[in-house]
Every structure is written in C-alpha cells, then in structure tokens.
Amino acid sequence: MGNRPDELRALLDSVAKQDGDPVEVVVVGNGSPVPDVPEGVRTVELPENLGIPGGRNVGIEAFGPGGTDVDILLFLDDDGLLARQDTAELCRRAFADDDKLGIVSFRIADPDTGVTQRRHVPRLRASDPMRSSRVTTFLGGANAVRTQVLAEVGGLPDEFFYAHEETDLAWRALDAGWMIDYRADMVLYHPTTAPSRHAVYHRMVARNRVWLARRNLPAPLIPVYLGVWMFLTLARRPSRPALKAWFGGFREGWTTPCGPRRPMRWRTVWRLTRLGRPPVI
C-alpha cells in the first residue's frame, strides 16, 4: 500500500540475503506508488486498490501467464522479514522432495518476542506452533505455491478483496489432489497485530465465509458450516457495532454473486476430515 517503505526495504534485503540461487522479486503497488527499491527488483503500480487477492494475482502474472516462467511463487507481506537465510533453499527442497506438495505455509512470529499467534497456525490443534504438519489451509502473508497448482485450479478469488481467499484456493488445490504443509522452520518475522484493525474486517469475514461455502462445499454441508461459524461468532461476544457489521456481511454473502460454484468431491471432504479439519469448521 506504499505506507511502509522502511519495512519493505528490510524485507527485500532479507530476500536478497537468501542462500542459493537469487530470488526474482516483484513488488506490486496496490493502488499506490511503489517506493524506491533495490536495483533488479521489478515493480508494478496499479491505479486502484484491487484488494489482497487481486494484487497478488497481478504479481503472479508478472512472472508470465499464470506465473509459468517460474516453478514456485513466494508471497510475503511487505511488513514482514525473513528470519533465516536458508528459507528459500528449504522451500526449494520441500517441493523437490514431494511431488504432491502444492502449497507451503510459513510460521509467522513476532520479531521481539518470537511468539506465534494461535491464529497464525493453520490447523485446529494450534497449541504447538513449532510442530510442522499437513494442513488444510495456509497463511496469505507468508507462503509458497507451486505454479502448477495455479495452472490447474486458477488463482486467488479477486472478488473476495480481503479475508478467506487463501482457504478458497486451498480447498480447490486439495480437491485437485495437492497437499499443503505448515512448516515451523520457515519463519517470517511480523509484528503481532489483530485482524480487526481493518475497518472492513467483520463485514468481509462474514460475507466471504458465505461465498466460500457457496463456491466450494457440497450443498448439504453449506448450512452446517455457516451455522457452526455463526455460533462461534456469537460465542465470542463481539461488540454491537461489530456484530451489526458481521450480520450485514453475512446477508451480503447470500444476496451478491460469489463467482463460479465448483463443489468439492465427497472424497475431498473425507480427506479434509482425516487431516483434522472437516469442512464444517
């Protein structure tokens, strides 16, 4: 967004210091000018903010149609910082060693405390962030995707703008037979924040949750999934304005187009269940 030039420069420096072959870098200005970047870093400036998935999709195309000029695409938030110099090599090795690995989700840790927030561990059993495992979704701010996955299932859903776009892609990838790993040894330092800091958080979370279900779930699971999430939302006792925004987004999710519907197969539902997260929560 162009408002963190110092953090962006630190991130780019951490990428440049990676062991092994140099990492080709593109910085997307999502509706804002791109600040000065090191020589060799390419930039794309968009005239308007396309949202998180829209901006990342533009970044993908910067590496050829669907990113096909490269084998792996790495996505990093501009206020993050790679903690180690061997992350790129670990990433290359992970994909080379497992032909069915489609997506890798990094561990996000606070740079001062080293703490990984529970919400940054993409599984239900999140008490031990140092344990790597197969998972059913991934973190948008620190991940790597095999470009063959994007060629088979498409990119991130532009219309989501913010929230749940990663799970939409993850479910499509899993339905196509790919696997997703959470790797505790691949670390992005990122300051501890609350997702609700975004003004549109409650509305977008609710709207996109409905869209996610309408696009991807078998019809019998849609009311179960959304019912569980409504119960969890009410159990967390959000403020009255937050709850009003949430219900407004929930209504919007039912009354607006959600994009193409491609329900996952029942064997994918069983696969998600075996991985510890059935697609009803």
pLDDT tens digit string along 98-139? Answer: 999 999 999 999 999 999 999 999 999 999 999 999 999 999
Max distance between CA atoms of the chain, in angstroms, equals 53
Confidence (pLDDT) at 200 = 86
CA angle at residue 154 from 158 to 254, to 5 degrees?
45
Confidence (pLDDT) at 69 = 97
Comparing C-alpha atoms, which of 117, 110, 103, 109 is closest to residue 152?
Answer: 103
**Rounded to the nearest 5°, which phi and psi values hold at 183?**
-115, 115
pTM of the predicted model, to two decimals? 0.96
Confidence (pLDDT) at 3 = 86
Residue ranges for the chain with pLDDT beneath 50: none
Confidence (pLDDT) at 198 = 56
CB 51, CB 158: distance < 8 Å: yes
Confidence (pLDDT) at 150 = 98
Q: Write down the residue that tokens 């967004």 correspond to.
A: 1
**Rounded to the nearest 5°, which phi and psi values hold at 17?**
-85, 0
Give pairs for 92-99: CB < 8 Å, separation 24+.
Answer: 92/20, 94/181, 94/183, 95/71, 95/144, 95/146, 98/179, 98/181
Confidence (pLDDT) at 197 = 53
